[in-house]
Amino acid sequence: DSGVTQTPKHLITATGQRVTLRCSPRSGDLSVYWYQQSLDQGLQFLIQYYNGEERAKGNILERFSAQQFPDLHSELNLSSLELGDSALYFCASSANPSGRSYNEQFFGPGTRLTVL
């Protein structure tokens, strides 16, 4: 158990719908990262938040957005869903986003999204 929790574990929805994935970081971690794992794209970084503010953006679609709340939990919102959005979405957390020394990222169990 990494200490990072994600809900729900599984989500099945239809094309065109909108869903929200939730992540609670490890106690004390200020930084949250979202990654997408799909068969064709592999594991890709989507976005990072640090203490409520967006810090870095990766290959995140405009239909996707995220936020980090004052209690440090984060939500990833996926809208106008397409079949190709079916994937495993991981959240990770770390103590701080310092670029000078790496802070280990601890991964949650993931949310498996299936778009039908």
Partner 1 sequence: AQSVSQHNHHVILSEAASLELGCNYSYGGTVNLFWYVQYPGQHLQLLLKYFSGDPLVKGIKGFEAEFIKSKFSFNLRKPSVQWSDTAEYFCAVNNNAGNMLTFGGGTRLMVKP
Contact positions toward partner 1, by CB under 8 A?
2, 4, 31, 33, 35, 42-45, 48, 55-56, 58, 90, 92, 94, 97-105, 107-110
Nearer CB in complex with partner 1: 64/90: 90
- DSSP string across 38-78: ETTTEEEEEEEEETTEEEEE-S--TTEEEEE-TTS-EEEEE
CA distance 75 to 31: 13
Q: Report the nearest approach of partner 1 to the CB of residue 77 (Å).
A: 20
Nearer CB in complex with partner 1: 4/115: 4
